[in-house]
Amino acid sequence: MKKLKILIVDDSSVMRKIVERALRQAGLDLTEVLEAGNGAEALAEVQKGALDMIFSDINMPVMDGLEFLKNLATLESAKGVPVVMITTEGSDARVVEAIAAGARAYLRKPFTPEQVKERVTPLIGGRP
Amino acid sequence: MRPLVNPSHQASNQAESSWKAILECAAMEVFEMMAGVHLEPNPEPGEEPSGEQTAMVGMAGALCGMITLRCSQEMSKRFASLMLGEAAAANPTTARDALGELCNMVAGNFKGKINALKDQCMLSVPTVISGEDYSMDTADPNEGITIAFTCDGNLVWVCLIVQP
């Protein structure tokens, strides 16, 4: 499986660790895992260099996940990088909004490693 | 009993009566999927909610109130260990935060299963209280749901408290 450099965006440091663990349990080969506590921090990380995939929460302080997606679309360094939204939101409307703003997939918490694998594997290698 | 959901949102009393089963299911799913443990509903726990760790997530919108998740410190460490690994769970702050995230997921999963709440109820960030010597003064106890679970012989409590 392709080695991946990913960014996990969530205001909870514990949730970032939970997501990383789930991704590893799902069989993803993570060579580097960057973390950001909100959308603004995440944009700064994206500008530093190439990423293979981004996982982002929706509800966050400073800049939420939807705003992050909109800003991400303007960055050359983010072109083609798949974004997976991870949320506790039961709202279908917010998920639809996230997909419309450029997210390639979403995961609702709680999730199993199998569900992570199912949603994420098709996106690996998606960067042109 | 007063309707649990703001009447303007047209939730029926019949739907509300099913909330206990939905909350039970939501909690069991979260623990099963995120920590790999089975919570066994315990209809006769023989005691009031107890435990040194209480996580709380506020709800606002169609339903105003909170969901709490309460258990012993030992159980909260165990859940954190299952979710994050033993090394991470050894840090008390991490164990507390993990319980908060579990509570957040129970609340999100619960509201996601109820159409009247799904798009019309927001969740707060989780808060965790450490210690047992506290009281929570909110709504009439009749306007809430308390569910006891047993997990490997230990009690785990999930409560929905609705503000009048």
- pLDDT of B2 strictly over 50: no
Domain-embedded: residue B101: yes
| SS3 per residue for chain B | CCCCCCHHHCCCHHHHHCHHHHHHHHHHHHHHHHHCCCCEECCCCCCCCCCCEEEEEEEEECCCEEEEEEECHHHHHHHHHHHHCHHHHCCHHHHHHHHHHHHHHHHHHHHHCCHHHHCCEEECCCEEEECCCCCCCCCCCCCEEEEEEEECCEEEEEEEEECC
- CATH number of the domain where residue B156 is located: 3.40.1550.10
Contacts of B119 in chain A (CB under 8 A): 90-93
User: What pTM does this model have?
Assistant: 0.89
Contacts of A12 in chain B (CB under 8 A): 97, 100-101, 125
Question: What residue of A is the nearest CA neighbor of B34?
Answer: A110
- pLDDT of B40 strictly over 90: yes
Q: Please state which of the four CATH numbers 3.30.70.270, 3.40.50.2300, 3.10.20.30, 3.40.50.1100 is assigned to the domain occupying A3-123.
A: 3.40.50.2300
Domain-embedded: residue B1: no
Q: Which domain holds residue B146?
A: 12-30+51-162
**Predicted ipTM of the assembly:** 0.87
Chain segment B76-102, per-residue pLDDT in tens: 999 999 999 998 888 999 999 999 999
Confidence of residue B136 (pLDDT cuts 50, 70, 90): confident
Closest CA–CA distance from residue B142 to any residue of chain A (Å): 26
Confidence of residue B139 (pLDDT cuts 50, 70, 90): low
Chain B 98-127, residues with CB within 8 Å of chain A CB atoms: 98, 100-101, 104-105, 107-109, 111-113, 117-119, 123, 125
**Could you give the number of structural domains in chain B?**
1
With CB atoms and an 8 Å threshold, state whether B30 touches A110. Answer: yes
Q: A98: burial class by Cβ within 10 Å (0-12, 13-18, 19+)?
A: buried
Name which of B85, B108, B119 is nearest A109 (Cβ-Cβ).
Answer: B108
Closest CA–CA distance from residue A27 to any residue of chain B (Å): 16
Question: How many other C-beta atoms lie within 10 A of the C-beta of residue A57?
Answer: 26
Closest CA–CA distance from residue B78 to any residue of chain A (Å): 15
Domain-embedded: residue B36: no
Chain segment A46-96, per-residue pLDDT in tens: 999 889 999 999 989 999 999 999 999 999 889 989 999 998 876 778 888
The pLDDT of B26-30, averaged and rounded, is 97
Closest CA–CA distance from residue B114 to any residue of chain A (Å): 9
Domain-embedded: residue B3: no
The pLDDT of B10-15, averaged and rounded, is 45
